[in-house]
Amino acid sequence: MIDILGLPGITPVDIRYQAKSIIISANAKDDVLPTCSECGKPMYRHGRRKGTFADTPIQMQPVRLEVIRTRYRCADCGKVLIPELPFLDESRRATKRLVNAIRERCLGSTFNSLAHQTGLAVNTVKNIAHDLINELERTVRYETPVIMGIDELHIAGDYRCIITNLATNNIFQMLERRTQAYLKPFFASLRDRDAVEWVCTDMWRPFKESFGQYLPNARLVIDKFHVLKMASEALDLERKNHQENLSRNERIYVKKSIRWITLKRPNMLTAMEKSALAELRSSIPILAEAYDLKEAFYRIYDKQDKESAMNAFLFWKSVLPKKDFNGFSKLAKTVDNHLEYIFAYWDSPHRITNAYTECLNGLVKIANRMGRGYSYEIIRAKTLYEKQARKVGSGIRSVVDIEAPIPTSGTPQSVEYGPHIPTLIDMVESGRIT
């Protein structure tokens, strides 16, 4: 029989198909009698034993390898030996090449799909993934961002904290909770924390209070899109207030037709939508006024320098109506309370925003849905250690960690910037990651 396995120490003797799997039987070579490890005497053949192991798929079908090995016994001390084969992972009941193949794919595919392809139990795939994750946690370290993004993310039943490198658009870290109890120890132990120059986040106070004392050189800039979101929400509040006095059909019309028009920027409106907006000014003037307030606030971020932006905000605040428009009044108060950090946007290089962090949050949620039932640990590993995305835009390099104990393997720690977020987006959209 042709050797279709290419594995050392065994010879295939039979192949058959059974229960949607390919079964290959192989005999282990027993040319030399082993010596007893206890008493040093030669052992004799004492029957044969068959073990079944999963192997890499052939022709898109799971493979089961039946390995028949000679059992040896010592005539003096009675010790029994079944020789080990170097290509087998006895604990997984699989070949090492199959385990390695799963390790290569488990952070880019769902466990169920890998189990289906290989014929292994889902829990076996999960255990292989956990071993890989533990190894990655010990050996991989990402470069501390000079420009850091911090945001929250709701997955696996709780709010998590996700941290990105906004200078390179890479993922840096994911923390189990967004509370100070988790954030403060993280920032206190952060390597090269003096290197952080900017932190972009929303207005959630625990974020600022968590990193403030530990990142001495970092300036906070509040994310532009979180501020602009409040302006859109203020407009939407006026729409909802207007709808309260309408009939059911009128409410549906306003929600489905007018809402999306008023949330768009003027340069994004079609000719038909511009005509609808002009009609809105005569039919529902209060909504048209709210739209103009929203747009005037958005134009603050169109200013090229900080002084012009602050003057635009002061003017916008001065023309706010004294009555009604509570959402915009709340927005003005919020900006006043965070004035320094909101307008630091014009001091920061390259106009820092958390846009890629927000995109990443969406990708993580997609992975969570596709692998329904994943634990936080698995979702975190799939996000932080996706292999292909780590190769792009990361400037991967190796260094010797002078603070770590002397390595015994001779392998330096891997240092890089983390998975590249635009690459992750491309991989999800093209179906190369699930």
Provide the pLDDT confidence category of residue 422 given band limits of 50, 70 and 90. confident
Q: What are phi and psi of 347, to 5 degrees?
A: -90, -25
Q: Rounded CA gap, 345 and 62, in Å?
A: 55
Asked if pLDDT for residue 404 goes beyond 60, the answer is: no
256-290 pLDDT per residue, tens: 677 778 888 888 888 888 888 888 888 888 888 99
The segment(s) of the chain belonging to CATH 3.30.420.10 are 140-222+353-429
Provide the pLDDT confidence category of residue 410 given band limits of 50, 70 and 90. very low
- Residue 89 confidence (pLDDT): 92
Token digits of residue 202: 């929303």
- Residue 413 confidence (pLDDT): 47
Token digits of residue 433: 């990651």
pTM here is 0.76
- Residue 59 confidence (pLDDT): 85
262, burial (CB in 10 Å: exposed 0-12, middle 13-18, buried 19+): buried
**Mean pLDDT along residues 134-142:** 90
- The larger pLDDT score, comparing residue 394 to residue 134, is at 134
**Mean pLDDT along residues 144-159:** 88
Asked if pLDDT for residue 87 goes beyond 50, the answer is: yes
Q: Rounded CA gap, 209 and 190, in Å?
A: 16
Q: Who contacts 61 (Cβ-Cβ below 8 Å, separation ≥6)?
A: 20, 21, 22
- Residue 232 confidence (pLDDT): 93
Q: Rounded CA gap, 213 and 58, in Å?
A: 57
Lowest mean pLDDT among 73-87, 314-328, 382-396: 382-396
Lowest mean pLDDT among 210-224, 288-302, 355-369: 355-369
- Residue 363 confidence (pLDDT): 66
Asked if pLDDT for residue 188 goes beyond 90, the answer is: yes
Which range of 23-27, 107-111, 426-430 scores highest in mean pLDDT? It is 23-27
Provide the pLDDT confidence category of residue 355 given band limits of 50, 70 and 90. confident
Are residues 22 and 33 in contact, defined by beta-carbon separation less than 8 angstroms? Answer: no
287-336 pLDDT per residue, tens: 889 999 999 999 999 999 999 999 999 999 999 987 778 899 999 999 99
Provide the pLDDT confidence category of residue 65 given band limits of 50, 70 and 90. very high
Token digits of residue 61: 């079908």
- Residue 260 confidence (pLDDT): 76
- The larger pLDDT score, comparing residue 302 to residue 403, is at 302
**Mean pLDDT along residues 204-233:** 91
* Cβ-count burial 273-304 (b if 16+ within 10 Å, e if not): beebbeebeeebeebbebbebbebbeebbeee
- Residue 67 confidence (pLDDT): 93
Q: Who contacts 268 (Cβ-Cβ below 8 Å, separation ≥6)?
A: none
What is residue 85's DSSP assignment?
A: -
**Mean pLDDT along residues 329-353:** 93
Please state, in angstroms and as integers, the Cα–Cα distance from residue 366 to each residue in 77, 255, 346, 429, following that order: 60, 27, 33, 11
What is the architecture of the domain spanning 140-222+353-429? 2-Layer Sandwich (3.30)
